[in-house]
Amino acid sequence: MIASYKCKEGHAIVKGTRAITADTVLCLRGFFGTGPEFRIDLQSNSELCIAVAELQKEIRTIPKLELA
């Protein structure tokens, strides 16, 4: 039951509709043998990808810094 739930949760994380929660990290940590930093990296990358997707038009309009 837990594995099935976590699988669904994993799909939602991949689709960007769910954040990576602490309990998910504990399951991933057990499965992959990773440390807590793994969660921080995953969550940061996820948030960055979502922000880029949502803001890409605005990001393109930001003027570039011109160095003399």
What is the percentage of the chain residues whose pLDDT exceeds 90? 4
Tell me which residue range forms the domain holding 26.
2-61
Q: Would you state the pLDDT for residue 6?
A: 58
Position 13 pLDDT exceeds 70? yes
Task: Spell out the residues 6+ positions from residue 16 whose beta carbon is closer than 8 angstroms to its own.
Answer: 46, 49, 50, 53
- The pTM for the full model equals 0.47
Lookup result for tokens 């699988």: 7
H or E element in which residue 65 lies: none
Domain count, the chain: 1
Q: Would you state the pLDDT for residue 7?
A: 63
Q: Is residue 7 part of a domain?
A: yes
Q: Residue 1 — pLDDT band, cuts 50, 70, 90?
A: very low
Q: Is residue 67 part of a domain?
A: no
- Tens digits of residue pLDDT in 40-57: 777 788 788 888 889 988
Q: Is residue 33 part of a domain?
A: yes
Q: Is residue 51 part of a domain?
A: yes
Q: Is residue 26 part of a domain?
A: yes
In the 8-state DSSP scheme, what is residue 1? -
